[in-house]
Amino acid sequence: MNQEVVSAAPTLKKKENLKQRAYLNSLTNIIDYVVTQFTGFLVSPFIVSGLGNSMYGVWQMLSQMSGYAKVADTRATQVLKWTIAKKKDIVDEEELRSDVTSALAITGLIVPLVLIAGSVVSWYAPIITKVEQEYYTLVRITCSLMILSLVVSKLFDLYESVLRGMNLAFKRMGLRAAIVAFGGGLKVLVLTQGYGLIALAIVQLVITLIIGITYYIVVKKTVSWFGFGRTNFAKIKIFSKVSGWYLADTGASLLLGNSDKILLGFIAGPIAVTYYTLTLFLPTAFQGIINRIVMGVLPGIGKLLGLQEYDKLKNVLENINSITFLLITASAVTITIINSSFLNAWVGGELYAGNIANTLIMVMVIQDTFIRNDAYILSATLDLKDKVLLTLAAGVLFILIGFFLVGKLQITGLCISLLAGKLILFIGQRHLIHSKIQYTSASSILARIRPLLVSLAMLAGAGYITTTMKPLSILEMAGLTPLIFLVAFLVYYFLGLNKNNRSELIRIVSSIKLFKYD
């Protein structure tokens, strides 16, 4: 009897260093993202020249359209990630294994629905992309392969979710980056050999499969309790209810965040998508790095939510906002000034969307960065009803305004439509987060909007500078880009942040041990 009691008792665990693991997870995410973007930077000119301006736009539209198969995806693995993050220190290992099995069961049930949704998307893909009838079969096969890649990714997401939920994403540091770089080389190879869309989609499928297998190996080696435990219909039902809201969230998010290229291409044509995508490359590359810094911290946020340590959580969220504003503003100012020159050197200045569209894209990226941060936090609460309704309302507003403005203003109209739709989501999500953690601010309204005012003023100044500039050479960009970023960083640091914000950021940075693994 005593032996049973001892075996059932939770094992004494080493205290988790949330700050250090947040740093390591962020570093892992940043390495992955930087390599992915650098690979895209090297490969994209080959894709543009290999496919042509119009077919490159079709490839971008298909990338978004294949994501619409996720409308049948309950995202049970996302529920698993946040469930493990919240429960890993307060339940026994058998319950965690039971949660893994429940997520696997729901994923297995949903795969056929994803395939059915993907079949519908693939069939109508040629009509939406407005290709000539001779390319119908080509586009349908390409879209089908991309959806198959999505299904493979969903099946292996289970292992990534366990790693992230355990706050151990850093254990696979560099693996995804190496595989993505290898995939980029394969894409260049098939393009230089004269192959096109279908070959690119096959390469994408192969890379997804390799990444999934590596996640499985890492989880088996690093998570001692990992396995599949007993579950039952009641538990799967509870899991599916939460997953059901993730399904609704996926659908609403697709409408708002995965429709811009489709809407632009459907109304203005695939070539407009090419201009938009290439002008968006550098802004989204920098945005992704900032998002990944935040993503590395969020499993720690899941733990604070689970323990209901709201005072600590409020401090973490304020720091995230300060870091995000500082980094995204400095990046936005820099990119606004150099983006035209960058595109001119990269793929040709004729593919630049224009100064007004460029500046609006940067405002859009700033707004979207905060929306994503807030969305991650709300996802960690596993209470998605209000978030889903807000996202759906924002998506509908975007589509309605977009149909009117894109036809008149093309890329500029698309940006205005996105800004208008997402404003509802930004305000609503902030209200939800503050309600859930009982957040109140003693600061004045002016103090609260000070970061935004400084950021927008700096961006407006950068937009004006672009109208007076001639394209920079590669050497000039290499010398000026770090200087512009440093100046923008320091200006915002002293004007956008108050004294307490600056002191807190210095404390956080000084507490991180850069070369300590865990």
Question: For every one of its 518 residues, what pLDDT tens digit does the chain have, with 9 covering 90 and above?
Answer: 444 443 343 444 555 556 677 777 778 878 888 898 899 999 999 999 999 999 999 999 999 888 776 655 556 677 777 677 777 777 777 777 888 888 878 878 878 888 888 899 999 999 999 999 999 999 999 999 999 998 888 888 888 888 887 877 777 788 889 999 999 999 999 999 999 999 999 999 999 999 999 988 988 888 878 778 787 777 777 666 655 666 677 778 888 888 999 999 999 999 999 999 999 999 998 888 777 766 655 556 666 766 677 777 777 788 888 888 999 999 999 999 999 999 999 999 899 999 999 999 999 999 999 998 888 777 777 667 788 889 999 999 999 999 999 999 999 999 999 999 999 999 999 888 888 777 776 677 888 899 999 999 999 999 999 999 888 999 999 999 999 999 999 999 999 998 888 888 888 777 666 555 55
Q: How far apart are CA 471 and CA 248, in angstroms?
A: 45
Is 304 found in the same domain as 199? no
Q: Are residues 285 and 199 part of one domain? A: no
Q: What local confidence, expressed as pLDDT, does residue 9 receive?
A: 39
Q: Which of 209, 242, 275 is the last residue of a domain?
A: 242
For residue 374, being part of any structural domain is answered with: yes
Q: Are residues 58 and 174 in the same domain?
A: yes
Tell me, yes or no, whether 10 lies in a domain. no
Residue 6 exposure: Cα atoms within 13 Å on the Cβ side: 3
Question: Which residue in 509, 168, 482 sits closest to 337, CA to CA?
Answer: 482
Residues 374 and 493 in one domain: yes
58 and 122 fall within a common domain: yes
What pLDDT score was predicted for residue 7? 38
CA angle, 277 as apex, 469 and 358 as ends, to 5°? 30
Domain count of the fold of the chain = 2
Do 407 and 468 have their domain in common?
A: yes
The angle that helices 260-268 and 411-436 make with each other, rounded to 10 degrees, is 160
pLDDT for 161 equals: 82
313 and 443 share a domain?
yes
Last residue of a domain, one of 208, 227, 242: 242
User: Domain span at residue 406?
Assistant: 243-508
129 with 172, same domain: the answer is yes
Measured between alpha carbons, how far is 414 from 404 in angstroms, rounded to an integer? 10
* Tokens read off for 513: 């041990």
Q: What are phi and psi of 348, to 5 degrees?
A: 115, 130
Q: Is residue 515 one of the residues assigned to a domain?
A: no
Query: Who's near 32: CB < 8 A, 6+ residues apart?
Result: 176, 177, 180, 292
- Asked whether residue 249 is assigned to any structural domain, the reply reads yes
Tell me whether residue 108 is exposed, middle or buried, using C-beta atoms within 10 angstroms of its C-beta: 0 to 12, 13 to 18, 19 or more.
exposed
User: Does the residue 114 lie in any domain?
Assistant: yes
User: Do 390 and 429 form a contact (C-beta atoms < 8 A)?
Assistant: yes
Domain boundary (186, 217, 242) is at 242
Same domain, 323 and 458: yes
Domain contains 13: no
Whether 248 contacts 388, CB under 8 Å: yes
Tell me if 481 is assigned to some domain.
Answer: yes
| C-alpha triplet 304, 306, 309: angle, nearest 5° | 40
- Please give the pLDDT value at position 517: 52
Residue 340 placed within a domain: yes
- Cα–Cα distance measured from residue 372 to residue 386, given in angstroms and rounded to the nearest whole number: 16
Alpha-carbon span 314 to 408, nearest angstrom: 44
Residues in the chain: 518
Same domain, 318 and 457: yes
